[in-house]
A and B are shown apart, each in its own frame.
Chain A
Amino acid sequence: MSSPRVQWFLVCLALLIVGCNPALADDSEAPAAQGPYFHINSADPAVDRLPLKSTRASVRIAGVIADVTITQRYRNEGTKPIEARYVFPGSTQASVHALSVRIGDRLINATIREKQQARIEYAQAKTEGRTAALLEQERPNVFSMNVANILPGDNVDVELHYTELIAPVDRRYQFVFPTVVGPRYVASGAGFPGSPHLHAGEPSNTAFDLDLRIDSPLPVSDIESSSHAIDVRGAGSRRATVQLREREPSNNRDFILSYRLAGDRTATGLMLYKGAKENFFLALVEPPKFIKPAAINPREYIFVVDISGSMHGYPLDTAKELLRKLIGGLRSTDTFNVMLFSGSNSLLHETSVPATAANIEQAMRVIDRQYGGGSTEIVPALRRIAELPKPAQQSRTVIVVTDGYVAVENEVFALVRRNLGNANLFAFGIGSAVNRHLIEGLARAGQGEPFIVTRPGEAAAQTERLRKMIDSPVLTQLRARFEGMEAYDVEPQVLPDVLGGRPVVIMGKWRDDATKHNAVRMVLAGQQADGAWSETVRAPAPDDDAVALQMLWARSRIRQLSDEEALTGGGDQREAITSLGLQYGLLTQYTSFIAVDRFVRTSTAATTVDQPSPMPAGVTDSAIGAEVPSTPEPATWLALLVALTALAALPLWRRRVALTGGTLAGRARTGDK
Chain B
Amino acid sequence: MNVALRRPPVAWLALQALALWPHALWMGSRMRDGSDDPLGVVALAALAVLVVRLAPRLRGQPDLRWLAGAVLLTIASTVATLCLPPLPASLIAALALAAGIAAWLPPGTARLPFVGLAVLALPLLSSLQFYAGYPLRLATAQLSTWLLTLVGIAAERSGATMEVGGRLIIVDAPCSGVQMAWMAYFTAFTIAALTNLRDAVFLRRLPWVGILVLAGNAVRNAVVVALAARPAGVGEVAHQATGVAMLAAVCALVLWVMHRGVARAQPA
Interface residues of A (CB under 8 A from B): 15, 17-19, 21-24, 628-636, 638-640, 642-643, 645-647, 649-650, 653-655, 657-658, 662, 664-666, 668-673
- A636-B179, A642-B251, A662-B263 provided; 16 other pairs, C-beta below 8 A? A15-B88, A17-B131, A21-B85, A630-B174, A631-B169, A631-B239, A632-B174, A633-B243, A636-B39, A638-B243, A639-B180, A642-B183, A643-B186, A645-B248, A650-B195, A673-B261
Set of chain B residues within 8 Å of A635, measured between Cβ atoms: 240
Within 8 A of A (CB), among B169-210: 169-172, 174-175, 177, 179-180, 183-184, 186-187, 190-191, 194-195, 197-198, 201, 204-205
Could you tell me the distance between the alpha carbons of A650 and B228 in the complex, rounded to whole angstroms? 35
Could you tell me the distance between the alpha carbons of A653 and B264 in the complex, rounded to whole angstroms? 12
- B63 contacts the other chain (CB 8 A): no
Could you tell me the distance between the alpha carbons of A658 and B263 in the complex, rounded to whole angstroms? 8
B179, A633: Cβ atoms closer than 8 Å: yes
Could you tell me the distance between the alpha carbons of A664 and B261 in the complex, rounded to whole angstroms? 9
B244 CB contact (under 8 Å) in A629, A634, A662: A634
- How near does chain A come to B187, taking the closest CB pair, in angstroms? 5
A646, B261: Cβ atoms closer than 8 Å: no
Set of chain A residues within 8 Å of B179, measured between Cβ atoms: 633, 636, 639
A630, B85: Cβ atoms closer than 8 Å: no
Q: A630-B175, A634-B243, A640-B39 are in contact. Are A668 and B260 (CB under 8 A)?
A: yes
Closest-by-CB residue of B relative to A655 is B268
- How near does chain B come to A195, taking the closest CB pair, in angstroms? 25
A670, B264: Cβ atoms closer than 8 Å: yes
B220, A646: Cβ atoms closer than 8 Å: no
Q: A639-B180, A657-B263 are in contact. Are A19 and B85 (CB under 8 A)?
A: yes
- How near does chain A come to B104, taking the closest CB pair, in angstroms? 24
Say whether chain A's binding surface is mostly helix, strand, loop, or mixed.
helix
Closest-by-CB residue of A relative to B37 is A636
Set of chain A residues within 8 Å of B217, measured between Cβ atoms: 633
Q: A642-B244, A642-B251, A650-B194 are in contact. Are A668 and B263 (CB under 8 A)?
A: yes
B161, A650: Cβ atoms closer than 8 Å: no
- How near does chain B come to A234, taking the closest CB pair, in angstroms? 56
- How near does chain B come to A672, taking the closest CB pair, in angstroms? 5
The 6 closest A-B pairs by CB, nearest first: A665-B264, A634-B243, A632-B174, A646-B251, A21-B85, A657-B263
Say whether chain B's binding surface is mostly helix, strand, loop, or mixed.
helix
Q: Please, could you name 20 A-B residue pairs with CB atoms under 8 Å apart, sorted by A? A: A18-B88, A18-B91, A19-B85, A21-B87, A629-B170, A630-B170, A631-B220, A632-B172, A633-B220, A638-B240, A638-B243, A639-B244, A643-B251, A658-B263, A658-B267, A665-B263, A668-B264, A672-B198, A672-B201, A673-B201
B261, A668: Cβ atoms closer than 8 Å: yes
Set of chain B residues within 8 Å of A666, measured between Cβ atoms: 264
B252, A646: Cβ atoms closer than 8 Å: yes
B175, A653: Cβ atoms closer than 8 Å: no
B240, A647: Cβ atoms closer than 8 Å: no
> 0/1 per residue, B222-250, Cβ < 8 Å to A?
00110010000100000110011001100
- How near does chain B come to A622, taking the closest CB pair, in angstroms? 13
Q: A18-B88, A673-B261 are in contact. Are A629 and B180 (CB under 8 A)?
A: no
Q: A22-B130, A633-B174, A665-B264 are in contact. Are A646 and B255 (CB under 8 A)?
A: yes
Could you tell me the distance between the alpha carbons of A638 and B237 in the complex, rounded to whole angstroms? 12
- How near does chain A come to B155, taking the closest CB pair, in angstroms? 13
Set of chain B residues within 8 Å of A657, measured between Cβ atoms: 263-264, 267
- How near does chain A come to B251, taking the closest CB pair, in angstroms? 4
B225 CB contact (under 8 Å) in A18, A22, A631, A639: A631
- How near does chain A come to B208, taking the closest CB pair, in angstroms? 12
A653 CB contact (under 8 Å) in B184, B197, B259: B259
- How near does chain A come to B217, taking the closest CB pair, in angstroms? 8
Set of chain B residues within 8 Å of A21, measured between Cβ atoms: 85, 87
A634 CB contact (under 8 Å) in B161, B233, B247: B247
Q: A642-B244, A670-B264 are in contact. Are A650 and B191 (CB under 8 A)?
A: yes
Could you tell me the distance between the alpha carbons of A56 and B201 in the complex, rounded to whole angstroms? 77
B264 CB contact (under 8 Å) in A18, A628, A662: A662
B177, A633: Cβ atoms closer than 8 Å: yes
- B254 contacts the other chain (CB 8 A): yes
Closest-by-CB residue of B relative to A665 is B264
- How near does chain B come to A640, taking the closest CB pair, in angstroms? 6
Closest-by-CB residue of A relative to B126 is A22
B221, A631: Cβ atoms closer than 8 Å: yes
B187, A643: Cβ atoms closer than 8 Å: yes
A658, B194: Cβ atoms closer than 8 Å: no
Could you tell me the distance between the alpha carbons of A655 and B167 in the complex, rounded to whole angstroms? 49
- B14 contacts the other chain (CB 8 A): no
A633, B180: Cβ atoms closer than 8 Å: yes
- How near does chain A come to B152, taking the closest CB pair, in angstroms? 20
- B19 contacts the other chain (CB 8 A): no
Closest-by-CB residue of B relative to A672 is B201
Could you tell me the distance between the alpha carbons of A23 and B127 in the complex, rounded to whole angstroms? 11
Q: A630-B169, A646-B254, A672-B201 are in contact. Are A638 and B187 (CB under 8 A)?
A: no
B228, A631: Cβ atoms closer than 8 Å: yes
- How near does chain B come to A617, taking the closest CB pair, in angstroms? 27
Closest-by-CB residue of A relative to B263 is A657
- B265 contacts the other chain (CB 8 A): yes
Set of chain A residues within 8 Å of B264, measured between Cβ atoms: 657, 662, 665-666, 668, 670
A647, B191: Cβ atoms closer than 8 Å: yes
Could you tell me the distance between the alpha carbons of A15 and B89 in the complex, rounded to whole angstroms? 11
Set of chain A residues within 8 Å of B204, measured between Cβ atoms: 672
Could you tell me the distance between the alpha carbons of A650 and B189 in the complex, rounded to whole angstroms? 13
- B79 contacts the other chain (CB 8 A): no
A669, B170: Cβ atoms closer than 8 Å: no
Could you tell me the distance between the alpha carbons of A298 and B40 in the complex, rounded to whole angstroms? 77
Set of chain A residues within 8 Å of B244, measured between Cβ atoms: 634, 638-639, 642
- How near does chain B come to A10, taking the closest CB pair, in angstroms? 13
B261, A665: Cβ atoms closer than 8 Å: yes
Q: A643-B251, A668-B264, A669-B261 are in contact. Are A628 and B85 (CB under 8 A)?
A: no
- How near does chain A come to B236, taking the closest CB pair, in angstroms? 10
Set of chain B residues within 8 Å of A633, measured between Cβ atoms: 174-175, 177, 179-180, 217, 220, 243, 247
Could you tell me the distance between the alpha carbons of A638 and B179 in the complex, rounded to whole angstroms? 11
Set of chain B residues within 8 Å of A636, measured between Cβ atoms: 37, 39, 179
B261 CB contact (under 8 Å) in A628, A629, A640, A672: A672
Could you tell me the distance between the alpha carbons of A638 and B242 in the complex, rounded to whole angstroms? 12
Set of chain A residues within 8 Å of B172, measured between Cβ atoms: 630, 632
Could you tell me the distance between the alpha carbons of A632 and B239 in the complex, rounded to whole angstroms? 8
Set of chain A residues within 8 Å of B265, measured between Cβ atoms: 665, 670, 673
Set of chain A residues within 8 Å of B191, measured between Cβ atoms: 647, 650
Set of chain B residues within 8 Å of A630, measured between Cβ atoms: 169-172, 174-175
Could you tell me the distance between the alpha carbons of A410 and B168 in the complex, rounded to whole angstroms? 33
Closest-by-CB residue of A relative to B176 is A633
- B262 contacts the other chain (CB 8 A): yes
A650, B255: Cβ atoms closer than 8 Å: yes
